[in-house]
Amino acid sequence: MKKTVLAAVLSTAFAAAYAAGPDAVVIGAGGAGLSAAVTLSDLGRSVVVLEKMPMIGGNTVRAEGGINAAETPLQKKLGIPDTIDQFYKDTMKGGHNLNDPVLLRTMTTHAKDSVAWLESLGADLGAVGRSGGAKYPRAHRPTDGSAIGPEVIRVLYKAAKDRKIEMRTQNRVVELLTDKSGAVAGVKVSTKDGKTYTIDTKAVVIATGGFGANQDLLVKYQPKLKGYATTNHPGATGDGILLAEKIGAATVDMKQIQAHPTAAPNGTLISESVRGDGAILVNADGKRFTNELLTRDAVSAKELEQPGKFAWVVWDDATRQTAKLMDSYKKLGLTVEGNTVADLARAMNVPAANLEATMAQYAKDQVAGKDSQFGRPELLQPLTKAPFFAVKVQPAVHHTMGGLKIDTKAEVLNTEGKAIPGLFAAGEVTGGVHGGNRLGGNAQADIVTFGRIAGQSADAWLKSLK
């Protein structure tokens, strides 16, 4: 009886606490959502984060390479002559000039502030590497070369917990509620046991990620992707896009879908940073076939031209020692290895003479400082230190560049180009930033930069209502 009374008291107290609803609701507990939530909390706002999956992190926790930013203190310390303008130019070129210029300028200008903000929260971003399509090293990552995503989620989750932000997992938003004027009025939520409830709020941030794990949507916009594997987590099904479309939101670039060139057959992503740190790609004949630092779409296209439409990522022990990340692939059972190049060739089932010739030529070019075959701009290692390692890879759906149309304030725009009052979005659920192809390291720059902007804009909107 006492337990029943206590439960009733607690239930009443909980309902009373949110009788008027929190100031804001954030949908999605990945990097963009948590960035928005922490920003809102620091601005004095009450916020509830709703996540449909059993755990937080989304695709962010799977990210491996780094967070791109230009003109950072670390770059200046290392003598890297990068500029925000070069960052912009590289990204526009990588996106085939389809990027929204004002959104891209916003990201490239403020990415360095995002890095500084993460570091202020305790992130280790003490190393910097180079990703495909970048003129200079600008992918900031943990000092030991480990994956960026877990580090970003670690610090954001801790920040959210420290601020006592309520995060409800297995709570899926099924409807965005609006008032008579069309402004956001709340959300309808479904719990894991099938019950529904509503939260009244005047500001909603959608940060639900892309649709890389939704085969129906992928095929709708790109039929050629039917049957493709994906590097995305199971929850990346485009929910936020579909929800916002129902209240009149516009979308952009939905046909722009990226295949990552280095996914293991089981879908595990082999980070672009592995190539950035010195690894090469060879085909089933044991021969290189491309500049490994080209953009993802270009490398994927070259890979699909090879026998069997797959490749091998190859590195040596010296390269392995530069990045802790490489050891994780061995632990997952994805690598084959050999004490000599011939041993590695046998493990890969490629012609030993061809692979030995390939490796010898690459070592010669590395010493000379010029890739005589494909013009790769950086040859960091000669790849001569045993043991040698390789992982079989193939293209897989990785990033959906299209999504909700937003402005520089992260306001979601309707089909008439006007902001939907009280609705904001950040991260892969949005479109326009990356154009026709996303460069490695830009996802983290996007989600943190626009996540923070969404939080700031939601706060400004709430102030305007008073």
What are the residue numbers of the active site? 296
Measured torsion, CA atoms of residues 426, 428, 434, 437, in degrees rounded to the nearest 10? 180
Cα within 13 Å of Cα(182), Cβ side: 12
- Spatial CB neighbours of 277, under 8 Å, sequence gap ≥ 6: 129, 145, 315, 319, 322, 323, 380, 381
Among the listed residues 434, 437, 426, the one whose alpha carbon sits nearest the alpha carbon of residue 404: 426
CA distances from 239 to 46, 50, 206, 236 (A): 24, 13, 10, 8
Rounded Cα gap, residues 459 and 462, in angstroms: 5
For 12, residues 6+ apart whose C-beta sits below 8 A from its C-beta are: none
Rounded Cα distance between 65 and 277, Å, is 10
Residue among 432, 409, 413, 429 at smallest CA distance from 421: 413
Residue ranges with strand state E in 28-120 = 47-51, 67-68
As a 3-state breakdown, the chain gives helix, strand, coil percent values, each rounded to 5, of 40, 20, 40
Q: How do strand 204-206 and strand 24-27 relate by DSSP bridges? A: parallel
Find residue 338's DSSP bridge partners. Answer: 388
Choose among 291, 295, 302, 298: nearest CA to 375.
291
- Give the Cα separation of 232 and 207 in Å (integer): 15
Q: Which H helix or E strand runs over 252?
A: strand 251-252
CA dihedral 277, 281, 287, 290 (to 10 degrees): -90
152 within 8 A of 60, measured Cβ to Cβ: yes
DSSP conformation class of 439: P
Which of 256, 277, 286, 276 lies closest to 398, judged by CA? 256
- Compute the distance between CA of residue 448 and CA of residue 31 in angstroms, rounded to an integer: 6
Q: Output the six-digit token pair for 261.
A: 């060139």
Length of the chain: 466
